[in-house]
Amino acid sequence: MLSHRIVRWWRTSSVTEILGVGMLAIGLVSSAVWLARDLGFRASVSREATLRVNINTASLDELETLPGIGPALAGLIFSARPFASVDELQRVKGIGPATVESLRPYVKVSGQTEEIRRP
């Protein structure tokens, strides 16, 4: 029954109405994709880090395991190497003192990347 209504609407509607409904559908799908990505990013930020990463030798994937570090910031950190201290992360655009303090337990500038041992 619904399909008959759709067919009747399709036959009696103008091109402008059809394009408007199509654009509305595209907008709704785009919004859903954006929201899903945003929620996925927030979920990854809240997860607990399991690595203490050497920011001078870590891969992009390892850098992305850090809380609040996504692909863009990981790339900027990767490009800004080498770092003499963790505080030098502030050289990276988008990383300020508060971010450095939140990352401090999960980063280092020498030695190998290692698993964080939880008590």
pLDDT band per the 50, 70, 90 thresholds, residue 43: very low
- Please compute, for residue 87, the number of CA atoms within 13 A of its CA located in the half-sphere on the CB side: 0
Q: Which two tokens stand for residue 83?
A: 């770092």
DSSP for 23-76, written as a single string: HHHHHHHHHHHHHHHHHHHHHHHHSPP-EEEETTT--HHHHTTSTT--HHHHHH
CA distances from 69 to 22, 24, 74, 78, 94 (A): 36, 33, 6, 12, 10
Please state, in angstroms and rounded to a whole number, the distance separating the CA atoms of residues 28 and 114: 43
User: With 60 as the cut, is the pLDDT of residue 74 above it?
Assistant: yes
pLDDT band per the 50, 70, 90 thresholds, residue 5: confident
User: With 90 as the cut, is the pLDDT of residue 108 above it?
Assistant: yes
The size of the chain, in residues, is 119
What is the mean pLDDT of the segment spanning 48-75? 90
pLDDT at 45: 46
- Are 104 and 85 in contact by the 8 Å Cβ rule? The answer is no
